[in-house]
């Protein structure tokens, strides 16, 4: 039985990856940080099958303990302060968790279990003010947020530990991926949740920032498979994971409101409070390398993804209201 340690197990990706690896017969250990109110919402259906280890990415000693206890064949580092907007108000914390957290995890592996394979959750946010389109593995980084800068550190320290210590360490440069388990602050979920609430008479307007930003949005359930595939290769490498299609926030809003039979212009209000100090205007990934080398392809289209999320939110409120 293969053993895995997942950081960020309570998050969107952690929950889909844990599900996927349990189905493959892995013994799954999840690093879980202490919180005053326990949040197992995303993993409540598989909670009993996961062995939780208390720890924090900012605390190297807790990661050493977690690696000693779990003796993992594979480590997936998905934990992060992952919300870009908050990285301007919490830049130091973001660096400690999102950048140095990756270093701490690599150090723990180097010291305790050098043959463990390591996956780092790198991000298309590293491309920021893009210097070429579409963005691929060789596209230079130009991060536009403290979060993006922290992810660039996490990315390069992963490459460096691979080259310095011969660790099997890979970075997945994942473009935006969403699901009904997406956090409510992120724009897709904020929109699908609001469309459902407005349809049911629970909300009257939706306040948003930049409607012109473009993102390459895919389904999280598809993307965790690419993470696993990277760690099954003969040699460690880095891969872009994306759909190869881009849409504006306006397209997203239109798709969600159309699905509930409403005209979005009647409800959406632009609010400067949701504008960012520096914006990433356009993300569009080139997933050719992932297709060629991993045999990976996205299955869920943008339209089906947004409808899946709206339907989930309608059901959630329909059942409780
Ligand atoms: P998410 O839903 O926000 O989950 C983040 C996870 O990190 C949560 O489980 C959170 O635990 C945990 N965490 C936060 N601070 C921590 C700390 N100090 N120590 C240990 N764990 C901590 O994020 P996601 O969407 O699943 O994304 C997974 C990873 O991929 C993140 O690293 C993100 O930056 C990266 N990424 C995401 C996307 C995307 O579009 N989703 C794209 C590219 C890269 P709590 O439950 O305790 O808060
Ligand atoms: O949904 P978002 O907050 O995601 P963002 O900033 O692209 O970051 C996500 O994807 C990254 C991969 O590229 C991950 F690394 C990261 O962890 C996270 O998962 O915002 C998407 C776009 C932005 O351009 C933002 O300015 O939507 C725009 N937007 C417009 N109004 C809004 C809003 N974003 C949010 N969150 N809330 C708004 O009201």
> From atom 6 of ligand 1, which residue's Cα is the shortest distance away?
8
According to CATH, where is 3.90.25.10 located in the chain? 183-216+246-283+300-316
List beta partners, residue 32: 54
For residue 36, what pLDDT is reported?
87
Cα distances (Å, whole numbers) of residue 123 to 64, 97, 111, 126, 148: 25, 15, 26, 6, 8
Determine the residue of 32, 41, 82, 213 to mutate for testing ligand 1's pocket, defined as the one with the most ligand atoms within 8 A of the Cβ atom. 82
Q: Which atom of ligand 2 is nearest to the CA of 124?
A: 13
Any idea of the CA torsion for 46, 49, 55, 57, to the nearest 10 degrees?
Answer: -60
> Which mean pLDDT values do the consecutive 10-residue runs of the chain (321 residues) have?
98 98 98 91 97 98 98 99 98 98 99 98 98 98 98 99 98 98 98 98 98 98 98 98 98 98 98 98 98 98 98 87 42
Residue 11 contacts by C-beta under 8 Å, 6 or more apart in sequence?
42, 78, 79, 82, 183
Place of tokens 């690599």: 106
Q: Are 293 and 240 in contact (CB under 8 A)?
A: no
Per DSSP, 89 falls in state T
CA distance 66 to 107: 12
Listed residue (136, 183, 75) closest to 284, CA to CA: 136
Question: CB of 78 closer than 6 A to ligand 1?
Answer: yes
Domain 183-216+246-283+300-316 architecture: Alpha-Beta Complex (3.90)
**Cα 4 to ligand 1 centre (Å):** 17
Query: Ligand 2 pocket: which residues have CB below 6 Å?
Result: 82, 84-85, 123-125, 175-176, 185-187, 190, 208-210, 213, 215, 249, 274, 276, 279-280, 283
- Strand (E) positions, the chain? 3-7, 27-32, 50-54, 74-77, 117-123, 169-174, 177-178, 206-208, 214-215, 218-219, 239-241, 247-248, 268-270
Query: Of the residues 94, 142, 209, 272, which should be mutated to test ligand 2's pocket, given the most ligand atoms within 8 Å of the CB?
Result: 209
For residue 254, indicate whether it is catalytic: no
> Please, are residues 147 and 89 in contact by the beta-carbon 8 Å criterion?
no
Range(s) of the chain covered by CATH 3.40.50.720: 3-177+218-241
Question: For 300-314, what is each residue's pLDDT tens digit?
Answer: 999 999 999 999 999
Cα separation, 168 vs 302, whole angstroms: 33
- Helix 100-112 × helix 146-165 angle, to 10°: 20
Name the CATH superfamily for 3-177+218-241: NAD(P)-binding Rossmann-like Domain (3.40.50.720)
Query: Which protein residue's CA is at the shortest distance from atom 23 of ligand 2?
Result: 213
Between CA 244 and CA 260 the distance in angstroms is: 27
């Amino acid at each position: 039985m293969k053993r895995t340690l997942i950081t960020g197990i309570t998050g969107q990706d952690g929950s889909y990856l844990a599900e996927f690896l349990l189905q493959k017969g892995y013994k799954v250990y999840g690093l879980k940080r202490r919180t005053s109110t326990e949040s197992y919402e995303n993993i409540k259906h598989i909670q009993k099958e996961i062995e939780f280890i208390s720890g924090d990415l900012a605390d190297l000693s807790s990661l050493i303990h977690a690696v000693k206890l779990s003796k993992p064949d594979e480590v997936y580092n998905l934990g992060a302060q992952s919300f870009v907007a908050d990285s301007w108000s919490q830049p130091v914390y973001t660096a400690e968790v999102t950048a140095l957290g990756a270093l701490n995890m690599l150090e723990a592996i180097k010291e305790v279990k050098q043959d463990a394979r390591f996956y780092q959750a790198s991000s298309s946010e590293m491309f920021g003010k893009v210097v070429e389109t579409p963005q691929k593995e060789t596209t230079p980084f130009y991060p536009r947020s403290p979060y993006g800068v922290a992810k660039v550190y996490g990315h390069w320290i992963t490459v460096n530990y691979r080259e310095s210590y011969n660790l099997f360490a890979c970075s997945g440069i994942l473009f935006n991926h969403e699901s009904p388990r997406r956090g409510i602050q992120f724009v897709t979920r904020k929109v699908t949740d609001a469309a459902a609430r407005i349809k049911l008479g629970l909300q009257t307007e939706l306040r948003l920032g930049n409607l012109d930003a473009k993102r390459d949005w895919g389904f999280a359930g598809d993307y965790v498979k690419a993470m696993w595939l990277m760690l099954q290769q003969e040699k460690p490498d880095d891969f872009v994971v994306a759909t190869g299609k881009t849409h504006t926030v306006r397209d997203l809003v239109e798709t969600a409101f159309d699905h509930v039979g409403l005209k979005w212009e009647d409800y959406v209000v632009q609010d400067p409070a949701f504008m960012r100090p520096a914006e990433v205007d356009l993300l569009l990934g080139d997933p050719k390398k992932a297709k060629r080398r991993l045999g990976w392809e996205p299955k869920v289209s943008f339209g089906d993804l947004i409808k899946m999320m709206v339907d989930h939110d309608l059901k959630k409120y329909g059942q409780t209201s």
